[in-house]
Amino acid sequence: MANAVPTISKGKPAIAVLLVDDHPILRRGIADLINSEPDLKVCGEAGTMQEALAAMTQFKPRLVVVDVSLDGNNGIELMKTLSTRWATTPLLAYSMHDETIYAERALRAGAKGYVMKQTPPETLLTAVRQVLKGKIFLSDQMSDRLLGKLIGAGTTSAAVTSPVERLSDRELEVFEMLGKGLSTAQIADKLCLSVKTIETYREHLKQKLSLGSGPELLRYAIEWSLEKTRQ
């Protein structure tokens, strides 16, 4: 496993990579992995969106690796911001979820690749290199699914997709927080939004998911959340 010293050998300086993840231990794993490559180097780490933005100006990384589930789903938000403010810096998203939902959202938010935490370490390195070369990196199943979705977009294929996939990013975020048992006020607080806004999202959720009452929505969200963590 490449126990070469990760310092600069000679001419070319290593490519600077920024890590964004709120799990310090996981950051350590990725940092170790990346630093073990002679031509790559972790220039900084961030555990929150704010830290990430600060680190961008401070370290000027050539690539950013972002955890989708940073603080809820703020990874998506962060990537949206990054991809507009630093449009030339490619983003690589990763997550412990293999849900297609997140990959799709990550790409829409500006990510150039998506890897799951279950994947072997080398795959992450492959993805890093691909993305640095300006290519898109996706696992085979993932790209198949996404392509299939695009192709079948016009025809009668909407039957298989979960209604949850039709939620907007914000709506999904609220939905997941509901599933974790947070109250409206807690969610509003966490997202720095008005309680009224969260109530509107609940309305939208009920409508999009065809649920009649608040408790029903809550139950659906909770079951969804449990199911997700269970596999």
Of 80, 59, 58, the C-alpha closest to 68 is 80
Q: Which does 58 bind (CB under 5 to 8 A by kind): DNA, its own copies, none?
A: none
The one-character DSSP state at 72 is T
Q: Does 201 bind DNA (CB under 7 A)?
A: yes
SS (H, E, C) 172-231: HHHHHHHHCCCCHHHHHHHHCCCHHHHHHHHHHHHHHCCCCCHHHHHHHHHHHHHHHHHC
| Number of Cβ within a 10 Å radius of residue 95 | 21
Give residues 210-229 in contact with DNA (rule: CB under 7 A).
213-215, 217-218
Q: Which residues pair with 17 in a beta bridge?
A: 42, 63
Q: Does 216 bind its own copies (CB under 8 A)?
A: yes
Is the Cβ of residue 48 or residue 139 nearer to DNA in the bound state?
Answer: 48
65 three-class SS = strand
Q: Which does 28 bind (CB under 5 to 8 A by kind): its own copies, DNA, none?
A: its own copies
Q: Which helix (H) or strand (E) holds 91?
A: strand 91-95
Give residues 130-159 in contact with its own copies (rule: CB under 8 A).
none
**Closest distance of CB 183 from its own copies, Å:** 5
Q: Which stretch binds DNA (CB under 7 A): 39-47, 58-66, 132-140, 186-194?
A: 186-194
Q: Does 194 bind DNA (CB under 7 A)?
A: yes
Q: Does 74 bind DNA (CB under 7 A)?
A: no
Q: Which stretch binds its own copies (CB under 8 A): 9-17, 26-34, 144-152, 198-206?
A: 26-34
Q: Does 50 bind DNA (CB under 7 A)?
A: no
Handedness of CA 184, 185, 188, 189 (dihedral sign): negative
Binding site for DNA (CB under 7 A): 166, 168-171, 183-185, 191, 193-197, 199-203, 206, 213-215, 217-218
